Amino acid sequence: MKQLTLFEWEQAHLSPEVQRLEAKYASRMREDLRMGSLVSYVGNKEAPLLRLYRYKEAFAFRFVDEWLRRFEVSQKDIVFDPFCGMGTTLLAAGCRGVPALGIDRLPLAVFIAETLAFFFQLRPGELNKVFQTLLGKVRSAEPAPLAMDVAIMQVAFAPQTLAELRQWKTVIDGLRPPMREVFLLLFFSILEECSYTCKDGQFLRLRRDKRTAQPEEALAKKVQQAETDLRKIQELGWKEVFVPFRVVLGDTRRLEEVCLQRPPTVLITSPPYANRYDYTRTYSLELCFHFVRNFPELRELRHNMLRSHIEAKLVDLESSRHPAVQEVVDFLKAHSKTLNNPKIPDMLTAYFVDMQKTISQWWKVLASSAHVVMVVDNVRFEGQMLPVDLILSEMAEQEGFAVEEILVARYKGNSSQQMGRYGRLPVRESIVVWRKQE
């Protein structure tokens, strides 16, 4: 009898529906590992403006730029990012002189994205000057109000650091727009280094042994970095071609509430992944400093995000219509005792219900023949692989999109625990390319 390789053995252990999907899309799937470094924030480390704030879930400027070039976008196009995060897609389109619209449900993300455009109104040297005037005021400033009833706020900072940060927040709040927004962005970007927290993997971890930065020094460094970027955007010629973009605080599951003005012709995005990630936890310091007044407001925001996290609640016996989701969810329910969180099956159901709604909304608002480019991560729970790239592609096909390509950008590290238990079948991070057909 022929002995199976480990890979073949694992393939054979994919659920039947997952095997069907893998076979269905095999001819449209290819590796493009060159894209691997561009689907993550790491690619933005040197990117002017985007490097100022570490939005960990962002993709790289060059990723978007490459697709805009491939699609030969012009001023006649409208680029749309319905999960716009810090606005990478919008900035890349704006710097090519192409109009763009972004939507995000997290007020912090919308704020960062909007503020990136304000940098184009500033002249080199202006930030330094304002920083010097703030230095003269900060020691006598009152502490700014914060959402101190959120548990992490009680332990995230040393008391003296927290007191200084609150004073900085007060003097920055006293600036006039757009300087206030620009300084707030720089201020939010130093909170992690001034705190005992780390935006690690899926969580905001508390690390009491961490060496923390001092607010004044950290902000001074950020201002220098921003000054360098103001010069850089001039040198790169971005300033001459830049077209401001529009950013809306909204829910991409309910686009009927958002006035789009013209149908978008290109959609480039990346949704939250089905991996328990909760944006309202990772960014809770920033949210508590400015965007929510108390814990109930933070919790409400959590429940209004796309349901990719463990607190996702199912409403009225919701279930996903997709057979691969049903199959894997049933398997996980049957094995809930060994799952490290029993709420994972409900989270997966909620995630795919939300994504189905989202794709259907996109189909309604996009221009005919519009392209969709979306970066997604597959997930594995209890050894069960969920090919999110293929499931969403099949949902898109049912909606009326043609699935043109599925590019594998990289294979993600599995946790060593999972590798030990379930072997090495890699988890893909893919770029799906769809086209709207009428």
**At closest approach, how far in Å is the CB of 295 from ligand SAM?**
19
Rounded distance between C-alpha atoms, residue 387 and residue 393, angstroms: 10
Residue from 156, 276, 150, 278 nearest 205 by CA: 156
**At closest approach, how far in Å is the CB of 377 from ligand SAM?**
9
Rounded distance between C-alpha atoms, residue 331 and residue 15, angstroms: 9
Question: Cβ closer to ligand SAM: 78 or 106?
Answer: 106
Q: Which residues bind ligand SAM (CB under 6 A)?
A: 55, 57-59, 83, 85-86, 88, 103-106, 109, 251-253, 270-272, 279, 305-306
Rounded distance between C-alpha atoms, residue 78 and residue 263, angstroms: 7
**At closest approach, how far in Å is the CB of 62 from ligand SAM?**
12
Question: Cβ closer to ligand SAM: 149 or 257?
Answer: 257
**At closest approach, how far in Å is the CB of 386 from ligand SAM?**
17
**At closest approach, how far in Å is the CB of 6 from ligand SAM?**
32
Question: Cβ closer to ligand SAM: 252 or 265?
Answer: 252
CA distances from 260 to 97, 251, 264, 338, 364 (A): 19, 13, 8, 46, 11
Q: Environment class of residue 221 by beta-carbon count within 10 Å: exposed (0-12), middle (13-18) or buried (19+)?
A: middle
**At closest approach, how far in Å is the CB of 71 from ligand SAM?**
17
Question: Cβ closer to ligand SAM: 300 or 330?
Answer: 300
Beta bridge partners of 268: 373
Question: Cβ closer to ligand SAM: 167 or 284?
Answer: 284
**At closest approach, how far in Å is the CB of 115 from ligand SAM?**
13
Question: Cβ closer to ligand SAM: 161 or 270?
Answer: 270
Write the Ramachandran bin of 143: left for phi over 0, alpha for psi from -120 to 50, otherwise beta. beta
Contacts of 160 (CB under 8 A, 6+ apart): none
**At closest approach, how far in Å is the CB of 23 from ligand SAM?**
29
Question: Cβ closer to ligand SAM: 111 or 289?
Answer: 111
CB 250 within 8 A of CB 306: no
Give the residue nearest to ligand SAM (CB). 85
**At closest approach, how far in Å is the CB of 105 from ligand SAM?**
4
279, HSE (Cβ side, Cα atoms, 13 Å)? 26
Question: Cβ closer to ligand SAM: 65 or 164?
Answer: 65
- Count of Cβ atoms closer than 10 Å to residue 285 Cβ: 25
SS3 407: strand
Question: Cβ closer to ligand SAM: 68 or 171?
Answer: 68
Angle subtended by helix axes 179-194 and 215-235, to nearest 10 = 130
Structure tokens at 328: 């894997």
Question: Is the bond into 215 cis (omega within 30 degrees of 0)?
Answer: no
